[in-house]
């Protein structure tokens, strides 16, 4: 708190740093310290299995490769050492799996997106799977707090002969704490290309004006946890039939469809715990259907 003896220049400086955004007449995150994290993983196949070709990380993101009984790399774990994401943060992650390589990528814990003043947090994911590569992108859920602002993009480049399973989850508040999200902005976009051609684009967007209507049946109804999962690989018709057979056993609202050479699966549950159980059951049943590879429940999900 400033007292009556504070120097005028100090008062002016503090006032400027806390002024409202001129263009939007709102408080701004722009002048606050914000994170600009980055992670890059490139893997390639070898006679001894998958090996690391290149790794880069910039705080607050770190990359860990848990030890296994085998020498080959099997799983990568992303860690946000900041403990969450705030308005104005920018985080980027890219994973490139070259021919013959196989990897599952997950996160250490659920990500948390906190209340923002004005600027959205920007999270960008870029995945690439080349011919004969196998990539499972299976991060844990993203929890969005009240008045958070999140802009998330997932861009995927696929080559014929690759196999990919990619998942993203959103949870609106923590049910155990009785949290109810009544405002904020969420934009969650997917762009998938095969051999350079766009085959699927999808965007999910909620704004301050939409939140009061989310509980209607036409929107989320009583669901606070949702997820999108896509699969690219061989025998799509057969695997779509298998998925539709197991959906009733998952214990949540779920549907699967085939579009532009991709299987797209949507999940919705009342609470994040229900969604996590459904996703775990899905992977335990669908993974064996895909044969050997990284398409399984990550060990970090149970830590």
Quick one: which of 271, 300, 270 has its CA closest to 283?
Answer: 300
Do residues 122 and 154 touch, judged by C-beta distance below 8 A?
no
Summarize pLDDT for 225-235 with one digit per residue, the tens: 999 999 999 99
Give, as one character, the DSSP assignment of residue 176: G
Hunting for tokens 């109804």 — which residue is that?
A: 221
Q: Comparing 22 with 40, which gets the higher pLDDT?
A: 40
What value does the mean pLDDT take over residues 267-294? 95
Does the pLDDT value for residue 132 go beyond 60?
Answer: yes
Q: How far is CA 51 from the centre of its chain?
A: 24
Does the pLDDT value for residue 9 go beyond 70?
Answer: no
CB atoms within 10 A of CB 297: 17
Task: Return the pLDDT at 85.
Answer: 96
Average pLDDT value over all residues in the chain: 89
Report percent pLDDT > 90 for the chain: 75
Longest CA–CA separation in the chain, Å: 77
Give the global pTM.
Answer: 0.89
Which of 99-124 are b and which e, b meaning 16 or more Cβ less than 10 Å from the residue's Cβ? ebbbbbbbbbbbbbbbebbbbbbbbb
Hunting for tokens 């947090």 — which residue is that?
A: 121
3-state helix, strand, coil in the chain (%, to 5): 15, 45, 40
Task: Return the pLDDT at 68.
Answer: 65
Rounded (5°) CA angle 135-267-283:
40
Task: Return the pLDDT at 67.
Answer: 76
Hunting for tokens 């196989």 — which residue is that?
A: 102
Rg (CA), the chain: 21
Give, as one character, the DSSP assignment of residue 212: G
Task: Return the pLDDT at 47.
Answer: 86
Give the chain's end-to-end CA distance (angstroms, integer): 43
What value does the mean pLDDT take over residues 183-189? 96
Quick one: which of 138, 39, 145, 40 has its CA closest to 86?
Answer: 145
């Amino acid at each position: 708190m400033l007292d009556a003896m504070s120097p005028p220049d100090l008062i002016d400086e503090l006032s400027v740093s806390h002024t409202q955004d001129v263009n939007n007449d709102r408080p701004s995150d722009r002048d606050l310290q914000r994170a600009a994290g980055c992670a890059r993983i490139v893997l390639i196949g070898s006679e001894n299995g998958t090996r690391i070709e290149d790794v880069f990380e910039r705080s607050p993101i770190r990359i860990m490769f848990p030890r296994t009984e085998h020498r080959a790399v099997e799983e990568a774990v992303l860690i946000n050492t900041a403990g969450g994401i705030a308005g104005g943060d920018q985080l980027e992650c890219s994973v490139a799996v070259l021919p013959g390589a196989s990897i599952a990528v997950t996160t250490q814990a659920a990500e948390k997106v906190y209340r923002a003043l004005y600027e959205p947090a920007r999270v960008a994911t870029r995945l690439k799977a080349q011919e004969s590569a196998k990539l499972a992108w299976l991060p844990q859920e993203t929890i969005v707090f009240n008045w958070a602002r999140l802009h998330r993009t997932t861009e995927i480049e696929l080559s014929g002969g690759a196999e990919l399973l990619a998942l993203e989850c959103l949870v609106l508040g923590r049910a155990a704490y009785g949290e109810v999200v009544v405002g904020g902005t969420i934009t969650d976009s997917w762009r998938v290309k095969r051999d350079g051609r766009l085959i699927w684009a999808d965007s999910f967007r909620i704004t301050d004006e939409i939140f009061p209507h989310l509980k209607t049946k036409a929107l989320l109804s009583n669901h606070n946890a949702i997820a999108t999962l896509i699969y690219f690989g061989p025998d799509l018709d057969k695997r779509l039939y298998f998925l539709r057979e197991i959906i009733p056993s998952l214990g949540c609202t779920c549907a699967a469809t085939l579009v532009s050479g991709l299987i797209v699966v949507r999940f919705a549950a009342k609470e994040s715990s229900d969604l996590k159980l459904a996703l775990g059951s899905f992977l335990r049943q669908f993974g064996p259907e895909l044969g050997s590879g990284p398409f399984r429940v990550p060990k970090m999900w149970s830590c």
